[in-house]
Every structure is written in structure tokens, then in C-alpha cells.
Structure 1
Amino acid sequence: MKVLALVGSLRADSFNSCVMETMKERYAAWSISVADIGSLPFYNQDVELIPPPIVKAFKKQVSDTEAIIIVTPEYNWSIPGVLKNALDWLSRVELVMVGKPVLIIGASTGMIGTLRAQTHLRQILSGPGLNARVLPPAGNEVLVNFADSKCKNGRLADEQTLLFLDQVINRFNDWVKTNTP
């Protein structure tokens, strides 16, 4: 499956990048690429009809993929601005996220992981300009808590977390196959 990842952290030693790099290696049967959302200009409605080339290329990346994985930290009980900016671009004019299968994952140093950010992200993704098909949450919430102790050398190293991630990835894979028109 061709998958595009949106990683909501720009930090060099990001725990969310740690999770994504682990996923790229662990699920090598999928073709996972990571979008460079940090290079996108701020969304501006004045230029949405003729967007900058980098925005056009980003939307094409999203359009050409079978599924999206969003890996987000939690900033002030929500998603980071860089991720919101990317989603704002995707929600306008050419609506490339409508119906796109999405898996939400997040890592943070706190006890409840990125629960509040993921809840907010689900609301955003259900908006009319995005209207993505997000994997239902029942048992599929990948909330990597205490990530500072679970990421080692840039990779997720906690066996229990990896086994749970395997289960969710398998369910997502099956869900995409059975729910894609």
C-alpha cells in the first residue's frame, strides 16, 4: 500500500519522527513516504486558487497516495500549527483528503500521550473540506506515552508498544482494503 505520512513535529529529535522512522522500517511492505509539511507557506486564502508550486506538489502527493498516517505531538492540548497549516491547505479548492483513509498516531512524554490532540484532530478531519475516513478509535488509539523512555537511537524500542502498533497497523490495513470503494 502506498502511504503518505504527515509528521506534526519539526524538532530534530522528535519522538513522533522516531515512531514514523520505526514504522517505515517495520512495515517495509508498505511504501511509506513523509511529506515535508514544514516547508509549506502559511495558508492564505488570497492565493488558494493559484497556490504556490510547493502546495500543488503537496496536494498531488496526498492525491496519489492510498492512505495517510498522521503522527502528531500534543501542543497546548491540540495539534501543532505546522500540521494545522498543512490540513488548512488540504481543505481548500482541490479537496484531496475527502474519503482518504487516515490513521492517527501520536507520541509525547506525558502519561496520556496525545489523547487531546488526537481528539481535536479527529474533529478537524471530519470538517467539510477534509472529510477524511479516519480509522474508528475503538481500540485503535496509538497514544505513545512516556516517549522519552521508549525512543532509543531514533527508533521506538518498547516491545509492548511495538506489539500494539502491529495490531493497529493490521486492523488499519484490513479496514482500508474492505472500506475503499
Structure 2
Amino acid sequence: MKHYIGIAGTNSKASTNLKLMQYVKKHFNKDVDVELVDISSLPVFFKGTADQVPNEALEIAAKIEAADGVIIATPEYDHSIPAVLMNALAWLSYTKRPFIGKPVMIIGASYGTLGASRAQAHLRRILDAPELSALVMPSSEYFLSHSLQAFDENGDLKDEQKVVELENLMKQFNTYIQFAKNVDVTARLNSSQAQYLKVEE
């Protein structure tokens, strides 16, 4: 059974993106193991030395490194991703760089009609940065609009069409995982000798 890390890019316990990740974990539990990690406790990022990286960031990095893939659900704030998600990605690009060569699937929910589409597009660009170099699944989109009304009292999606869309996307991701294993990510090998960055201000 494949093991995925699920990240909800929020620090709100009431976030519909957290509900979406919880739904993914529950709905696909017979096929894949999705482990949700909490990024809300990470301190604000600062450039320092290796011994200044918080343990929380190291623990998350180790989980991502060991996983088959990562699923990120992002809200959209001001046409971009939330600060808490940007903060987490900054720390992770500064540790062992666990996203290098790691397959990633992006999903998102929003209160409005666009389903965090602009934030998802921005997140793709961020994950393509050299220090992250994630293998984001191409030609894949999942936009959950009007997310406050999207879930029932059990936390399940009400719209069967959105369920089918998510199931198809997960099938594609499982296939993409196999493809990604054959991708030669030279950057991962190059970075192995300098796992931590030492920055001089």
C-alpha cells in the first residue's frame, strides 16, 4: 500500500481545506495510507545555520522523504497561498530538501466559485523552485468551490460528481507515482552532500 503525506496549507482547525484532506484520508483508506501532518506549529522562517532548524521541520522533512508522494490542499488568500504554507515550504527547502524528486498532487477548496485555482497555480510555480524541485503531477486540477456547503455532517462530500473527479485524480496520481520513479533527478544526488544550507547574512 502506498504511503502519502497530506498537508493542509492552513492553521485553522475549521478550514475546509483541512476537511478536504481529512476526507481524502478517509475515502481512500482502503487503497492508500494518507498521513496528515500539521504545519501550523512551525516558527516563522529565518535564515540561519543547520543547528537552528526547528525539530518540527526536520520531522516533517523526514516523513516526506520516506513517503511515496505528497498531497497538498491549499486555500487561496489574495490570489496566492497562505503564509503558513509558504512558511512550511521555506523551512522544508532549507532542511534535507525532501521535495526534490517527490511526486506531488495539488488540490484546493475555497468559499467562492474558483476553488483556489490561482493559489494552486502559484503553488505549482513555488514547488518548481530549485530548492524544492518537486515533481508536481501535470495536467491535473481539483477545484472545490463553495466549500462551506460542500460537506455533510459526517465530513463527506455532498456532490457525487466532485467525488468521482477526486477518485479519478487519485488514480492518475497512483499511476504518476510509478512514472516518477523512473525520473532521474540529478539535483537530489547533488544536494546529498550539502543537506543543510549555511547562509551568511
- What TM bracket, shorter-length normalisation? over 0.9
- The question of whether the paired residues in 2 share the 8 Å contact of 1:6 and 1:70 is answered with yes
The C-alpha deviation readout for 1:137-167, integer Å capped at 9, x for no partner, is: 2xx2001011112112233221110011111
What's the counterpart of residue 171 of structure 2?
Answer: 170
What's the counterpart of residue 146 of structure 1?
Answer: 146
Output the CA distance in 2 between the equivalents of 1:162 and 1:155: 9
What's the counterpart of residue 91 of structure 1?
Answer: 93
- For residue 48 of structure 1, report the CA deviation from its aligned partner: 4.2
**What SS is found at the alignment partner of 2:73?**
strand
Mark the structure with the bigger radius of gyration: 2
Q: Give the superposed CA RMSD.
A: 1.3
The C-alpha deviation readout for 1:35-88, integer Å capped at 9, x for no partner, is: 110011111112445412222111111111110000011011100111001100
Output the CA distance in 2 between the equivalents of 1:64 and 1:56: 12
Relative to the length of structure 2, the TM-score reads 0.85
**What SS is found at the alignment partner of 1:39?**
coil
What's the counterpart of residue 133 of structure 1?
Answer: 135
AA paired with 2:57?
A: V
What's the counterpart of residue 8 of structure 2?
Answer: 7
Output the CA distance in 2 between the equivalents of 1:85 and 1:76: 16
AA paired with 2:104?
A: V
- For residue 10 of structure 1, report the CA deviation from its aligned partner: 2.1
Output the CA distance in 1 between the equivalents of 2:4 and 2:60: 14
Output the CA distance in 2 between the equivalents of 1:6 and 1:61: 11
**Identity among equivalent pairs (%):** 34
What's the counterpart of residue 25 of structure 1?
Answer: 26
- The question of whether the paired residues in 1 share the 8 Å contact of 2:7 and 2:21 is answered with no
- The question of whether the paired residues in 2 share the 8 Å contact of 1:49 and 1:93 is answered with no
- The question of whether the paired residues in 2 share the 8 Å contact of 1:21 and 1:155 is answered with no
* 1:109 to 2:111 alignment: yes
- For residue 175 of structure 1, report the CA deviation from its aligned partner: 1.1
**What SS is found at the alignment partner of 1:76?**
coil
- The question of whether the paired residues in 2 share the 8 Å contact of 1:3 and 1:69 is answered with yes
* 1:74 to 2:56 alignment: no
- The question of whether the paired residues in 2 share the 8 Å contact of 1:104 and 1:141 is answered with yes
**What SS is found at the alignment partner of 1:130?**
coil
**What SS is found at the alignment partner of 2:72?**
strand
Output the CA distance in 2 between the equivalents of 1:55 and 1:100: 17
AA paired with 1:152?
A: D
The count of corresponding residues between Structure 1 and Structure 2 is 179
Relative to the length of structure 1, the TM-score reads 0.94
Output the CA distance in 2 between the equivalents of 1:177 and 1:11: 34
- The question of whether the paired residues in 1 share the 8 Å contact of 2:61 and 2:95 is answered with no
The answer for unaligned runs of 5 or more in structure 1 is none
AA paired with 1:142?
A: Y
Output the CA distance in 2 between the equivalents of 1:144 and 1:67: 21
